[in-house]
Structure 1
């Protein structure tokens, strides 16, 4: 592998790459970099949320011949999974589909004719001889007075259960008509009820999620393709669609969750205390040793032996250690201390490198803004094509930013992939060592070329003469293509060589994209205006 990458560097010194940023071919890495696939996600703004929901409702209403409130009830029950809804309809029929969701497949003529035989008596408040206009009958056939219905609706809405308000009748699971709810409650409560129904499209839908921005931007993201991808909202936040955490590829969601918890709960500080302190046998406070004497005295007054940690008696004083077996080898305790120290050293190794690249990422974000400013200013002063079109600079700095982030998270991935926390029984020691060396070779190549890319971008290109600027463009083009190629190889290695042979379940990772995390396109509400 080393020889392979050395050959890339040798070619780089001799050849210039014709680098097109839509579909281009890099002679140095021998790879065609094609345009990205069509966007797989949409941003639904607060204003377009009703239209987005309406689009799905109309589709269900037309195919199942149901009213809007029935379509919404079905979709809420089946978590807005239209494909699942249609499959169940084809397999089980309309009656079964309705009954599971709490709807009644009724005959309107039957309901109207039966209504005349219903006595105007409310079984809730026990009032009888009530006028017909104060009684309301639901589609399930149960009839109660408007006052009882109203109190029932008020309680359910205030308790946040308004998306599926069930009938008051005993053991009746039918869902109340939302039009009746709106009619009987106050305008303020009706508005709150309507908001719950609209937000259900996001909160009960696995393909739609709120953007986790703070403060909340008000947008939701809808995935068109069901995958474990990362996405960028219109507000600029990039996040993992699966766990709503910051983008963390190539880490899986579980790896990232464990890592953030590990870094936050100071578990390694506790580990250090375990290695470097002893607990007082009386008050159990941790005591560190600052001098050579092994006879310790706690603030509580208790004397104990540093070597064995046991409380001392009269015979264990400054001049004698009678009665203590400190010199006898205790295999289990020594192993425990060695293991704690080894785990701490391992964590420190990966955390230091993760933190170093994360810090570099923050600095290079400032570099990116500075480079873009210089590119704009310089393009206004010089007429040559290399100066007027600075896409080679902007693409280079964006490549640096993306690959640096992947590099920082690769250390988190390596910590869990080759440790014993998640895959202890999935690989033999020999197999783990082989895979670890394979991954670290690629990680080292990526690290080396990311640093080279960073160094080139720090050059004062805005002060260069024509030929020097052309030379810098060549270097950036080659390095950008090379870094992109290494990133792709690393992801292929993770998917095929590392996680592929393992039954990894919760360890899917977001796919690699050459042009970075996908920016979701804005949902167009115009297509629903005619249906609104």
Structure 2
């Protein structure tokens, strides 16, 4: 028929679709016929004819003749690919900076970085990746990674609160739940007084720190047989006594104490042979010294010196001097 055109379109599967269409049809009619054949919505691709691009939104009301499309014309379909990652949109009240990202050194002026509470700059994606790497390493505290470019021994001692990270990294609901779960799990695994029940894997702590033979209420409820286990080896209690659990593999020592006993020594503010891991003097959380000053603040709020283990006095002053003043090393916490 003289009023029909046959147009060949190479689609996304390298197939050639043949479209029969009226000569006076509009571009939107051509896209509609292709949607019937390919299942692709018009806005998800463009078409190229010779050196001309045909876009649905721009050209849908134009006619085939406007592009000089003739019988047996050959067109190529070009898919429009959306970004694979979620766009992180910051609140208007967040302070932005042109300073380069402290991890990637990105300094794109069209993609500004956020200014952290300590004043250092980082992009939301870098912030998310950095914090996730810490959590995947078993950590639960977020220290600023900034290092002086002229002296790598000098860095930023500021710890970022998760509430700040959640807001500045623009975490999705899924990411927020992932981070909250990992923070809690990492915290619990490092706490000296918290372990998992070997049967139901609930987190638990002893009512009395003197008890070695303990009972899990979750496993023993609902008419089930009473479940007792050894706090040290985390195996079912097999003896009638309270001092020995009856398991040959049990060393009779709290495995968390072994972590403190085996901690490698390091130098802190000029003091050598300081144990690299300490237990918080208030809650028992195991804390590893990473870098810089000797003063620590546990997640429970307790502040103490990593070297001498002394807290602040009643007036809020450090008993062992300033953050870089040498003091006497306290023994390993193995009792």
TM-score category of the 2 structures, normalised to the smaller one: 0.3 to 0.5
TM-score normalised to structure 1 length: 0.23
**More helix as a share of residues:** 1
**More strand as a share of residues:** 2
TM-score normalised to structure 2 length: 0.35
Which structure has the higher relative contact order (CA within 8 Å, separation 6+)? 1
